[in-house]
Structure 1
Amino acid sequence: MEQKNLILGFDFGEKYSQFCCYDRGTHTAVSIPVKEGEEAVEFPTAIAKKRNEETWKTGPDAEKSAHAENGIWLDNLYEICMGSRICQIENRDYTPGEVLGTFLREALKMIGIERPDQQIQAMMITTGHLTRPFVENVREAYKIIGLPRGRAYLQEHDESFYCHVLNQKPELWSRKVGLFFLKDEEASFSELSISRKTKPATVTVKRGPKAALSIEPMERDRDFCHLMGEAMGNEIYSSVFLVSEEFDLAWADNSLRQLKKNQRRIFGGTNLFAQGACFSAREKVEERRLKGYLFLGNDLVRYNIGMEMTINGSPAYYALIAAGVNWYEAEKECELILDGTEELEFVVSSMESGKRNRYTMKLDGLPKRPPKTTRIRLRLEYDSPVTCQITAEDLGFGDMFPASHKIWHETMGEV
């Protein structure tokens, strides 16, 4: 693959990962084989390192190479990248972001992308659950492969499900859409629904029941049938998607028959999330096909945060965080001058109800100075959809009022 202006989706799975690329000719997201001329698109979420060298390799043959050459095989890559612990390999410390960046670099090489900074127009990584450490690790990884923030994106599987579904034929999402995700000995259900009562129309993905699946085929089929009955009942669904990292439904005879009731359209495979991520990346940098829809995901910040202050001599509202963005994109840093106060007051308003509340952060121990001679650096950053970390630092005011660099920190939850 030597094209430029590539739009990629990357599903970072616990065991297996895969890429999709947007095809501008067919307007579809196409899975990228791990080897030219072969059909396999998944490869282990793992990486091999040659001993005593900075030589790394990923892909379907990497484990074999590692064992044959007495190399190092990191098969707990997902676990490493979800956390913030330093990873020590051969007496050298690597941050999780460095490990993830190395994995991405080698994975892109595997599919023929040698210069990501020059070949990739946009890339979206998707995974099942986002943590603040993982968000930071992804940002570091994107820097390593040379992609700036405006071309490098991240989202959960729920949003990739939404992007995948709404890029299919409208008859497949005219009513509710179901998703079963099978992982190891467990299956979980999610339901996508659209409310067209507002403009834009709102889309939600609600997570439903989950169930353990037996390893014995007939019992596994019964377990899955029971879950389907609990999750879907006799509700009408336009379509149902079955997704698994290792897709094999040879055991699911009765389950599939039950799924096809009420003329449901059934689709199965491993690449739904990678395709959804690819469509979402396209949405970010090219045509906005979904501009008539608002995805109300679980990651969404639902409150606006701002401050009332004087700007250019006039009272004004200064917006800090706008509701309607995902929590891992909600951050703001600014500087302000205090006018005879030793506290910061934030105006917090609900996106849904419009109700306003005030939140006060006291700056205990702030050095005593005349009004308008204290400069504060303020930083707000969400670490979940409902908790915002607020940090304030005293910067003083030039040589006359030196900075103490005292730092105050608070966690603001829902108010």
Structure 2
Amino acid sequence: MNEVRNVLIGFEFNREFSQICYYDRKAEEPVCIPTKVGTNLYRFPTAIGRKPNKNEWHFGLEAEYFGKKMGGIYLADLYDRAITEIPKDDPRGEDELPQAWQLLAFFFRESLRLTGLKDIVAGVSKIMVTTEKLDVVLVENLRMALAAVGFAPEQYTLQDYMESFYYYTYSQRPDFWMRNIALFTFADGYVTYHEMHEEKAVRPAPVTVVTASSCKLSDDPERRDEQFLEYAAKHMKEDIYSGVLITGDGFDTEWPEKTIRFLNKGKRRIFYGDNLFVKGACYAALEISEKKAMKGRIYMSPDLLKTDVGMDMLVDGKLMFIPLLQAGKNWFEESGVCEIILDGKEDLTFVLAPMDGSTRKLVRMELPGLPKRPTRTTRLRLELYCSSSEGCVVKAEDLGFGGFFPATHKTWKYGIAFPK
């Protein structure tokens, strides 16, 4: 692999197992990295371990050996820690375990050695981390962990499994995605159906994924095949599909004979494997940083910010709408910072403009305790960030007005809910 910030990485972060792939520029496709050269073992436990009374963490077989067999510490709950433990500023004592984001940093740093890069940070152009779903706690822990490894914000991105499904699908040949795409995911004895649909009459074409209720499968292979067939037929009906994807633990090609025959109807292209999401993440890294081949589409992710947030401001004597948060990106990718001068007002008015063109909404933020000053002598610093796809937080800070009116650095905080 070229080490001059040219490597694109997909990283699947799963509760039990994780895996890594890189984009092979000659083959023009993602390649999964084995945990041991010459094997087909690509997944490794989402866990780290260390020797007794030592602070050096390991992953993989070393983690299990030092943590379990030598009586050290073995942590196989990194995922659960990452989705529940809110990062804190206070340092941990010597006898306490590091915070979740610090443990994740050890995990990422050690596992990324599988790439063979001498300097991971210098060699990676973009790393896309994909996981089942994202919320504010997990996003913050992942961000802090990747930053602790040394990655700059522009080097890493996050997305959920369904967005990886999207990027994987549209990175295949056009005959695969010309019609609807079906995805079946297996986990914990259940199968779940997902359908991807593109509204081709609109530009940019919105792409949606609809997920059905899961189906519990029998342990008996013959009965399991019958249940899978009934479930697939119920949701796929007589609709036209150009491709079918199947992934997850609990599926192999031996037991679902009847279902496979059904899925093969109409010469549908079928893909099996446990690397769909990690490869989709790698394709996303390529698309976002270099290729830009999907500009004619927009994935309507549950994480998508669907509302512009801005203010009507006077610019060169003209009233203009200035967006501070822009729709069309995932909520955790968008933030805004600016400075404004108040024109005799003691509050702020924000404009919410839905991307579907529906009616704009005005939201007023009061500033109690704002220092009394002449018109246009109060400068505020505004910081906006999203707390989810359904709302954002505004922080305002009084910066005064140079030497005439010293800054008080008084702050205000306000939450805004987006229109449904």
Same fold (TM over 0.5): yes
Give 1:385 shift.
Answer: 1.1
The equivalent of 1:224 in structure 2 is 228
Shift of 1:400: 4.3
The equivalent of 1:56 in structure 2 is: 57
Unaligned stretches of 5+ residues in structure 1: none
Unaligned runs of 5+ in 2: none
Which amino acid letter does the alignment assign opposite residue 280 of structure 1?
A
Paired residue for 2:328?
324
CA distance in 1: counterparts of 2:82 and 2:414, whole angstroms: 27
Matched residues in 2 for 1:323 and 1:86: separation? Answer: 27
Q: Residues 209 and 230 of structure 1 are in contact (CA less than 8 Å); yes or no, is this contact kept in structure 2? A: no
AA aligned to 1:27 is: E
Q: Distance in 2 between matches of 1:306 and 1:271?
A: 40
Which amino acid letter does the alignment assign opposite residue 84 of structure 1?
E
Contact 1:52–1:90 (8 Å) recurs in 2: no
Q: Does the 8 Å contact 1:108/1:114 carry over to 2? A: no
Counterpart AA for 2:54: E
In 1, are the aligned partners of 2:87 and 2:101 still within 8 Å (CA)?
no
Per the alignment, residue 208 of structure 1 pairs with: 212
Q: Which stretch shows the higher mean deviation, 405-414 or 7-16?
A: 405-414
| Match for residue 299 of structure 1 among 294, 298, 303 | 303
Q: Report the CA distance between 1:312 and its aligned residue.
A: 4.6
Task: Name the amino acid aligned to 1:255.
Answer: T
- The within-5 A match list for 1:119-138 is 119-138=123-142
Shift of 1:402: 3.8
Other-structure match for 1:99: 103
C-alpha deviation, 1:354, in angstroms: 4.6
Q: Secondary structure at the match of 2:291?
A: coil
Q: Percent identity?
A: 37
Distance in 2, matches of 1:256 and 1:378, equals: 56
8 Å CA contact 1:86, 1:96 repeated in 2: yes
Q: Deviations over 1:37-71 (max 9, x none)?
A: 11111111111122222211112453234222212
- Contact 1:247 1:270 survives alignment (8 Å): no
| Deviations, residues 113-146 of structure 1 (Å, cap 9, x unaligned) | 3421122121110111011121112221221222
- Once the two structures are TM-superposed, the CA of residue 229 in structure 1 deviates from its matched residue by 2.5
- Summarize the Cα distance change of 1:12–1:187 in structure 2 as closer, same or farther, 3 Å threshold: same
Query: Aligned AA for 1:222?
Result: E
Match in the other structure for 1:372: 376
- 1:77 counterpart residue number: 78
The answer to whether 1:45 aligns with 2:49 is no
Counterpart-to-counterpart distance in 2, 1:321 and 1:245: 39
**Given the alignment of the two structures, is residue 181 of structure 1 paired with residue 185 of structure 2, yes or no?**
yes
**Map of 2:14 onto structure 1:** 13
Residue 34 of structure 1 is matched in structure 2 by 35
SS at match of 1:92: coil
Amino acid at match of 1:41: Y
Native 8 Å contact 1:393 1:405 kept in 2: yes
The residue matched to 2:52 in structure 1 has which SS?
Answer: coil
Counterpart code for 2:376:
K
CA RMSD, Structure 1 to Structure 2 (Å): 2.2
1:363 alignment counterpart: 367
Rounded to whole Å, the distance in 2 between the matches of 1:94 and 1:325 is 32
Q: 1:89, 1:58 → 2: CA distance?
A: 23
**Letter of the structure 2 residue corresponding to residue 68 of structure 1:** K
Q: Tell me the secondary structure at the aligned position of residue 107 of structure 2.
A: helix
The more displaced of 89-98 and 201-210 is: 89-98
Give the Cα–Cα distance (whole angstroms) in 2 for the partners of residues 8 and 89 of structure 1: 34
Separation in 1, partners of 2:278, 2:33: 10
* Pairwise CA distance, 1:284: 2.0
The one-letter amino acid paired with 1:13 is N
Q: Whole-Å Cα distance in 2 between the matches of residues 390 and 245 of structure 1?
A: 43
CA–CA separation in structure 1 for the residues paired with 2:250 and 2:153 = 32
User: How far, CA to CA, are the matches of 2:97 and 2:78 in structure 1?
Assistant: 15
**For residues 177-205 of structure 1, what are the alpha-carbon distances to aligned partners after superposition, in whole Å with 9 as ceiling and x for unaligned?**
01111111222121111122123333222
Give the residue type in structure 2 aligned to 1:338: L
Whether the 8 Å CA contact 2:3–2:119 is kept in 1: the answer is no
1:22 aligned onto 2:26: no
Counterpart amino acid of residue 190 in structure 1 = H
Q: Which amino acid aligns with 2:18?
A: S
Q: Counterpart of 1:380 in structure 2: which amino acid?
A: L
For the 8 Å contact 2:87–2:141, the answer to whether it is kept is no
Query: Residue 238 of structure 1 aligns with which residue?
Result: 242
Deviations 1:297-339 (A, max 9, x none): 2211111111112235543322201111111111111221212
When the two structures are aligned, how many residues end up with a matched partner? 415
Note the C-alpha offset of 1:395. 2.9
User: Which of 268, 273, 277 matches 2:272?
Assistant: 268
**Structure 2 length-normalised TM:** 0.92
Question: AA paired with 2:49?
Answer: A
Query: 1:60 and 1:269, CA in 2 relative to 1: closer, same or farther beyond 3 A?
Result: farther
The more displaced of 191-200 and 404-413 is 404-413
Gap change, CA 1:79 and 1:89, over 3 Å in 2: farther
Counterpart residue identity of residue 171, structure 2 = N
CA distance in 2, matches of 1:36, 1:14: 24
TM superposition score normalised by structure 1: 0.93
Counterpart contact for 1:58–1:110, Cα < 8 Å: no
Distance in 2 of aligned mates of 1:302 and 1:383: 14
- Look up the equivalent residue of 1:47 and give its one-letter code: I
Contact 2:3/2:122 (<8 A) preserved = no
Q: How does 1:275-286 map to 2 (within 5 A)?
A: 275-286=279-290
Task: Name which of 159, 166, 169 aligns with 1:155.
Answer: 159
- 1:246 to partner: Cα distance: 6.3
Aligned to 2:198: 194
| 1:149 Cα deviation from its structure 2 partner | 1.5
Match of 2:413 in 1: 409
